[in-house]
Amino acid sequence: MRVGVRTRSLAPDRLKYIRQLGATDIFVDHADTEEEPDEFNDRDGTETLAVGRDAIPTVAQLEAARERVADAGLRLTGIQSLPYSLYGDIMFGRDGADDALSQITRLIRNLGEAGIPILGYQWNPRGVVPMRTGPVELRGEAYGTGFDLDDVDDPDELAPGIDREYTEAEFWENYREFLETVIPVAEESGVDLALHPVDPPVIESLGGIPRLFRNVENFERAMALVPSDNHGLKLCLGCFSQMGEDVDEVLRRFGERDQIVFIHFRDVVGEVPRFHETFVDEGNFDAREAVRTLHDVGYDGVVIPDHVPEMVGDDDWRHRARGFTVGYLRGVVDTVRSERR
């Protein structure tokens, strides 16, 4: 079990800082050229990766990013997630779905050829409900993000750009076609695909759009649709905690089947429809017990801090809170490893 970090920037100082923390693995938070054009301002194409519609990084670009990370003493283990600009048409069964599938399969092949083994993805509808509705004060006047469904204006109205309601059956069929296309390519390329829960995991449908991956049962269905050793979970502990699930039981259930690709390690206080994020050493579940469970089921992948609070003096990446979380997780992992010996 290793502790990694997600980061958009691959600038030298960012990589040095991550190495100094003792983390080992990098998951790149891509810069989506369609959703965030102003965010992608990398002048020479080496300090981040652009991933989006008609912007699939080449093998050479991926290899350059991998080598840049390796030169800093780290390992480029995967791309954190697919952007909505690539999977949205597939999710809704729109005219651009075939083109999007072609671009995603090209990305998977390029990752495999470049020696980058993981591609995270989500099936999260955008524009229906905000991921969070406001900040919440934590210990020492740090701030975490919160969600309260009561604060969402007209959640049952159709989402912007959606002219009708969609059924779960439609979404499941579109998702099945996605898996039937991409999983064989992932198997051929030696790339693992990792599915993230919908966040926040509230009710079956909002704004006329189903929210498929809101519970354990639907994740089991996803894994059974097109069974493959190259498909598993980007298991976000915070999301399952938000669902009110027993996190240790979830880890045992999917860990014993070897269906956990990597872990988002965070927690919340409360459950849907009302919760807020907090420090990793507080919240609904016991972080130490979660790491013990991962150790006992033989998990040998990466755990990474996901959303972290904002601490005094933090930058936009929240480097102080992220540094605290990496240090805490490394301490817990080392302690559990020592216990089990």
Asked if residue 273 has a cis previous peptide bond (ω within 30° of 0), the answer is yes
The CA distance from 224 to 227, in Å, is: 5
Q: Kindly tell me the burial class for residue 208, based on how many C-beta atoms sit within 10 Å of its own C-beta (0-12, 13-18, 19 or more).
A: middle
| Residues paired with residue 4 on neighbouring β-strands, in sequence order | 25
Whether residue 10 contacts residue 69, with contact meaning beta carbons closer than 8 Å, is answered with yes
pLDDT higher than threshold 60 for residue 203: yes
Q: How confident is the model at residue 34 (pLDDT cuts 50, 70, 90)?
A: low
pLDDT classification of 44: cutoffs 50, 70, 90: very low
Q: Is the pLDDT at 36 greater than 70, yes or no? A: no
Mean pLDDT, rounded, for 115-125: 93
Beta bridge partners of 275: 147, 270
Is residue 276 helix, strand or coil? Answer: strand
How far apart are alpha carbons 147 and 109 in whole angstroms?
38
Joined together, the tokens standing for residue 121 give 């993805």
Span 277-298, average pLDDT = 97
User: When comparing pLDDT for 151 and 2, which is higher?
Assistant: 2
pLDDT score at 127: 55
pLDDT digits (tens, 9 = 90+) for 262-275: 999 999 999 999 99
Average pLDDT, the chain: 92
Domain spans, the chain: 2-126+164-270+283-306
Tell whether the model's pLDDT for residue 285 goes beyond 60: yes
Least confident of 127-141, 181-195, 270-284, 322-336: 127-141
pLDDT at residue number 133: 86
Mean pLDDT computed over 152-163: 74
Instruction: Quick: pLDDT tens for 291-318.
Output: 999 999 999 999 999 999 999 999 999 9
Q: Which CATH class is domain 2-126+164-270+283-306?
A: alpha beta
Residue 112: strand, helix, or coil: helix
- Rounded CA gap, 96 and 103, in Å? 11
Res 257 pLDDT > 90: yes
Q: Give the percent of the chain with pLDDT over 70.
A: 93
Mind listing the pLDDT tens digit for each residue in 222-251? 999 999 999 999 999 999 999 999 999 999
pLDDT in tens, 62-96: 999 999 999 999 999 999 999 999 999 999 999 99
Q: What is the pTM of this model?
A: 0.94
In angstroms, how far is CA 280 from the centroid of its own chain? 17
Calculate the dihedral angle through the C-alpha atoms of 78, 248, 311, 321, rounding to the nearest 10 degrees: -40
Calculate mean pLDDT across residues 323-331: 98
Nearest to 189 by CA among 262, 106, 267: 106
- The residue-averaged pLDDT of 133-150 equals 94
pLDDT of residue 42: 47
